[in-house]
Amino acid sequence: MAAIDDIQDALANMTPEQIAAITPFITMFSGLGYFESTNYPPRLAQDPLFAPSDWQPGDAPYKYTGPGLVDADGMILVLKDQDGNVLRDPINDKPQLIAYDPRSNAAQEYFRLLNDPDLVDNLDATLAMLESKGYKTGTLADNVTAFQKVFQLASDTGKSFTATLMDIQMYHPDAEVDEDSGSYTVTRLSSPADIATIANRTAQQSIGREMTAEEQRRFVQAFQSTERGYYAQVNDPNAMEITQAPSVDVAAQNFISQNAPKEQVAYDALTNVGWLVNGLRGVV
């Protein structure tokens, strides 16, 4: 056990350059499954199949950053057999996740609602809501395209079609009709203060410090530019797909990777080595 303590002491005295030098070994251990790194967006979930070991039904929703689509009730969509049993991967025994094909799913869902007398009112209400948010509707082609955009957004954000519709209704601003063209236009930028707060929290987790004032200024400017690009797609009636603007924390992570790569490598390596050392405690 003393040897493990010596390793920890040595790591604490390493320079960032020395820590960066061992990153290839960290990558090797990651490939062997010692560490897990994902780029999935964080969502709130309460699915026992995917919950942390210390979570119990009835607890507050946990943050889920894995693959798949989280439904409005916090459950993660999985494939099931005719009896309702969850289908599992024959190799790793993990539940098989549902994934969307926006083009085909859009047509299937639209006609499912259209052809069911009990659901057609839901279809009309959904289309009216989407139109109020700037989606072009009216013709069959426009309606299916609007659904396709929602399915694409759902895939990008890791949520179900239903949950994404709820997000659009609750959080997307209502569109305004342009008096000259008669089309809907909408643009709403996030508050610079809110962006900076989340960015600083992400930086603290990624490189152990907050962004400098200059880094904050550049990041806020870049993030709002991305938001303008997103709304340009929303306002384009000819756009077949809409790429959702990334969340602030994801955008901040990318910004840090581009602007402080050495700091991030050093901080990540030190964190990963800490995990490795703690893991070795159980076998040494």
Beta-bridged to residue 44, according to DSSP, are 63
The burial of 150, by beta-carbon neighbours within 10 Å (0-12 exposed, 13-18 middle, 19 or more buried), is given as: buried
- Widest pairwise Cα distance in the chain: 76
Closest to 264 measured CA to CA, from 195, 199, 208: 208
What is the residue type of 48? P
> Which long-range contacts does 277-282 make (Cβ < 8 Å, 24+ apart)?
277/4, 277/7, 277/8, 277/11, 279/34, 280/4, 281/1, 281/4
Task: Please tell me the predicted confidence (pLDDT) of residue 181.
Answer: 53
Q: Is residue 1 predicted with pLDDT exceeding 80?
A: no
pLDDT at residue 72 is higher than 80 = yes
In a 13 Å sphere around the CA of 237, the CA atoms on its Cβ side amount to 13
Q: Which residue has 């809907």 as its token pair? A: 184
Q: Which two tokens stand for residue 45?
A: 């979930």
Selected residue with higher pLDDT from 229 and 166: 166
- Quick one: pLDDT at residue 102? 92
Answer whether residue 261 shows pLDDT above 70.
Answer: yes
Average pLDDT of the segment spanning 26-35 = 48
Tokens, residue 195: 């962006």
- Per the DSSP assignment, residues forming a β-bridge with 159 are 70
Query: Has residue 164 got a pLDDT over 90?
Result: yes
| Three-class secondary structure of residue 165 per DSSP | helix
Q: How far apart are CA 84 and CA 63, in angstroms?
A: 26
Residue 8: pLDDT above 70?
Answer: no
User: Looking at residue 71, what is its pLDDT?
Assistant: 96
Q: What is the mean pLDDT of residues 118-143?
A: 90
Quick one: pLDDT at residue 30?
Answer: 47
Segment 172-178 shows an average pLDDT of 66
Q: What percent of the chain has pLDDT over 90?
A: 32
Task: Give the model's pLDDT for residue 170.
Answer: 84
pTM to 2 decimal places: 0.56
Q: Which residues contact 249 (CB under 8 A, 6 or more apart)?
A: 42, 198, 199, 201, 202
Question: Average pLDDT of 219-248?
Answer: 76
Instruction: Report how far Cα 239 is from the mean position of its chain's Cα atoms.
Output: 22
| Residues recorded for the chain | 284
* Ramachandran quadrant class, 175 (left: phi over 0; alpha: psi -120 to 50; beta: rest): beta
Which residues, in sequence order, are CB contacts of 37 under 8 Å at separation 6+?
30
pLDDT at 17 over 70: no
pLDDT at 89 exceeding the cut of 90? no
Span 107-136, average pLDDT? 91
Q: What's the chain's average pLDDT?
A: 79
Radius of gyration, alpha carbons of the chain: 23
Whether pLDDT at 240 is above 50: yes
Answer yes or no: is pLDDT of 84 > 50.
yes
Q: Is residue 118 pLDDT above 60, yes or no?
A: yes
Percent of the chain with pLDDT over 70: 71
- The tokens describing 146, both together, are 């609007």
What are the Cα distances from residue 81, in Å, to 85, 95, 112, 138, 211?
A: 5, 12, 21, 37, 50
Higher pLDDT, 123 or 201: 123
Segment 38-52 mean pLDDT: 85
Contact, 62 vs 55, CB < 8 A? yes
Question: If you average pLDDT over residues 237-243, what whole number do you get?
Answer: 66
Predicted confidence (pLDDT) at residue 269 exceeds the cutoff of 70? no
